[in-house]
Every structure is written in structure tokens, then in C-alpha cells.
Amino acid sequence: MIRKANMTDVPAIHGLVDFYARKGDLLPRTLQELYERVMDFHVCEQDGEIVGVCSLVVYRADLAEIRSLAVLPAYEGRGIGRAVAEACIAEARTLLIKRVFALTHKTTPFERLGFRVVEKNDLPEKVWRDCFTCSKLYDCDEVAVLLDL
């Protein structure tokens, strides 16, 4: 079941994001940050367990970011990542946002959703808002992808 996250989901969201952050696949998010941004998240729940997460962060009226897309390893390959990402994209459409982007190590899943690879410099909002405070600023290996809605 895909649904909007609630406060009781935050510890599970944190555990999932932290698992991939420790591997270097996602940026770490503090528990406090996740409580503050819980309304940004969609989750996939199966048998009472959060098995997939994704957030939509709005930058301005026409631009948002897909962030913290993660699926428990045991559930990979079942379409859960796609489903939570599509839920965020649907929310962006409802908000009349025109462009959604992500920074990722794996472009193929995003390309299957209609995203295209772009230069990070094409997203100055992201660079100014987040990249300058990121520990990977000068050693970033993520690729920017963009979806026009």
C-alpha cells in the first residue's frame, strides 16, 4: 500500500534512509529533519512494515525534487521504488509543478519514469540550497535527472 507518511512512520523512514546513507547512496537525514519533513514523504507499507520511501521537496512554484528514494533490500525489484516515486510525481502534478528533478547514482530507474539526464548547473536552486552545505560538494558523483510535467 502506498500512502502519505505519518509521524509514527518516521523512525522506519530514518532507519531506511540511514541504511543507504551509511553506504554512501543517500545523503543522511537526522531524525529531527525527518519529523519536520514527514509531510514530504510517501511510503510503501506491507504487512505493517515500511519497505519503501520517497519524498517530494518543493523548491518553488514550478520546481520540486524527488529525494530519499529507498527500498528495503529484501523488497528490491518488486516495483516499490517506482510506485513511491510515481506517488511523488502525481503529487507534483496535483500541485501544478512543471519540473521535477533528482540527483542520483542510478539514472536508469528515473529514465524509465521519463526523466532525462541534465547538468547539475541547470538546477541552480539545488546547488544554492543544498549542495554548498553538502560534504560531497567538491567530490559529488551524483547525476542530475529532470522530468518535465
- In angstroms, the CA 27 to CA 134 distance is 8
The one-digit pLDDT tens for each residue of the chain (149 residues) are: 999 999 999 999 999 999 999 998 888 899 999 999 999 999 999 999 999 999 999 998 999 999 999 999 999 999 999 999 999 999 999 999 999 999 888 899 999 999 999 987 777 665 545 544 555 555 666 788 999 99
CATH superfamily of 2-148: Gcn5-related N-acetyltransferase (GNAT) (3.40.630.30)
The beta strands (E) that lie in the chain are given as 2-4, 41-46, 49-60, 63-71, 99-104, 116-118, 143-148
Domain boundaries of the chain, sorted by first residue: 2-148
**Residue in 8, 68, 80, 89 with CA at minimum distance from that of residue 44:** 80
Largest Cα separation within the chain, whole Å, is: 42
Tell me the three state secondary structure of residue 54: strand
